[in-house]
Structure 1
Amino acid sequence: MEQADPMASWPTGRLLSTAARLVEHRWIQTLERVGLTHAGLVVLHLLDAGPLSQTELAARAKVETQTMSRTLDRLEREGYVERERHPQDGRRHVITRTPAGRAAWESARTLEADLFPTLSDQSAIRQTLLEIIRASSAGRWEP
Structure 2
Amino acid sequence: MTSNLDPDARSSYRLITLAARLIQRRQDDALAPLGLTRAAVIALEGLTGGPLNQEQLAEAIRVQSQTLGRVLTRLEATGLITRTRHASDRRQLRVELTDSGVAAVDAARLAEINAYPDDPDIAWKALREELTKFVRAIPVNRGAGVVPFAPPEHRAGHVHRQQSGRASGLRGWEQPRQN
Q: Please, what TM-score do these two structures have when normalized by structure 1?
A: 0.82
Once residues 88 and 125 of structure 1 are traced to their aligned partners in structure 2, the CA distance between those partners, rounded to angstroms, is 47
Q: Which residue of 2 aligns with 1:132?
A: 134
Q: How does 1:1-143 map to 2 (within 5 A)?
A: 11-118=11-118, 120-136=122-138, 138-139=140-141, 140=144
Deviation of 1:131 (Å): 3.6
Q: Which amino acid aligns with 2:89?
A: D
Identity value in percent? 35
Deviation of 1:129 (Å): 2.8
Alignment length (residue pairs): 136
Structure with the bigger RCO (C-alpha within 8 Å, sep 6+) is: 2
Once residues 139 and 56 of structure 2 are traced to their aligned partners in structure 1, the CA distance between those partners, rounded to angstroms, is 19
What does the per-residue CA deviation read over 1:66-121, in whole Å, with 9 as the maximum and x for residues that have no partner?
Answer: 11111111111111111111122111111001111112112122223322135633
What does the per-residue CA deviation read over 1:33-74, in whole Å, with 9 as the maximum and x for residues that have no partner?
Answer: 111111111111111101011111111111111111111111
Unaligned runs of 5+ in 2: 1-7, 148-165, 169-179
Matched position secondary structure for 1:88: coil
Q: Please, what TM-score do these two structures have when normalized by structure 2?
A: 0.67
C-alpha spacing 1:99/1:132, structure 2 compared with 1 (3 Å): same
Moved over 6 A (4+): none
**Superposition RMSD in Å:** 2.4
Once residues 139 and 91 of structure 2 are traced to their aligned partners in structure 1, the CA distance between those partners, rounded to angstroms, is 31
Unaligned runs of 5+ in 1: 1-7
Deviation of 1:10 (Å): 6.4
- Of Structure 1 and Structure 2, the greater helix share is in 1
Q: Which residue of 2 aligns with 1:5?
A: none
C-alpha spacing 1:45/1:9, structure 2 compared with 1 (3 Å): closer
